[in-house]
Amino acid sequence: MSEEENNMRQPVTGHVKWFDPGKGFGFVVADDGGPDILLHANVLRNFGQSSVADQARIEILVQETDRGMQTVEILKITPPVGTAEGGMSDFSDLEADEELGELEPARVKWFDKAKGFGFANVFGSSADVFIHVEILHRSGLADLQPGEAISIRVTDGERGRMATQVLSWDSSFRSTS
């Protein structure tokens, strides 16, 4: 990248208006106002995530293009606050606390956003770990893809093993360093 292109990048703080992993894009709304900013799936993947929750706080670098403002780099994503919805009473007391276990490497078995849940397997174990969509949202993610590598904190719940935190594989290294 040339120095001129690098100088054209502008830092922006805002929130994710929406992101659809199936479409491969979404939009960010800047705190300072202005037009919506395109967030492409490739930029999100470069950050180490395949999805991001609606209303998540985001710090990005943007650049003006022929098609409008576009995200060129993600600097930080913070999960949305107060996303608890009805039906979360079973999960309301779960915190992504180190006391509830270490981050463990896992692979997504399946996740159905419409149903609001899915399962993963910790590497080296065939036991399923339940992942509720609210835990995903609290972690700043919106969706998971089968086979995706993730890091999870797991606890034993009334109905078996369940995730208390889900991180993208790449971001788990950033949070522990």
**DSSP characters over 91-139:** TTT----GGG---EEEEEEEEETTTTEEEEEETT---EEEEEHHHHHHT
Does the structure show a pLDDT above 70 at 126? yes
Percent of the chain residues past pLDDT 90, beyond the cut: 48
Domains along the sequence of the chain with CATH: 3-78 (2.40.50.140), 98-176 (2.40.50.140)
Does the structure show a pLDDT above 80 at 163? yes
- The answer to whether the CB of 86 falls within 8 A of the CB of 116 is no
Is 137 or 37 the better-scoring residue by pLDDT?
37
Radius of gyration (Cα) for the chain, nearest Å? 17
Compute the average pLDDT of residues 22-37: 93
Q: Which amino acid is at 96?
A: A
Question: Over the stretch 57-115, which tens digit does the pLDDT of each residue have?
Answer: 999 999 999 989 999 999 999 887 754 444 444 444 444 444 557 899 999 999 998 88
Helices (H), the chain: 3-7, 41-47, 133-138, 169-176
Does the structure show a pLDDT above 50 at 128? yes
Q: How many CB atoms lie within 10 A of CB 176?
A: 10
Q: Mean pLDDT in the chain?
A: 83
* Gap between the Cα atoms of 168 and 151, Å rounded: 6
Is 18 or 3 the better-scoring residue by pLDDT?
18
DSSP 48: T
Terminal-to-terminal C-alpha distance of the chain: 28
Q: Which amino acid is at 174?
A: R
Structure tokens at 146: 């089968």
User: Sorting pLDDT into bands at 50, 70 and 90, what band is 152?
Assistant: very high
Compute the average pLDDT of residues 31-43: 94
Q: Which pLDDT belongs to residue 171? A: 64
Q: Which pLDDT belongs to residue 16? A: 94
Does the structure show a pLDDT above 50 at 153? yes
Q: Which pLDDT belongs to residue 160? A: 87
CA proximity to 58, closest of 46, 68, 44:
44
Tell me if the pTM is above 0.75: no
Q: Which pLDDT belongs to residue 84? A: 44
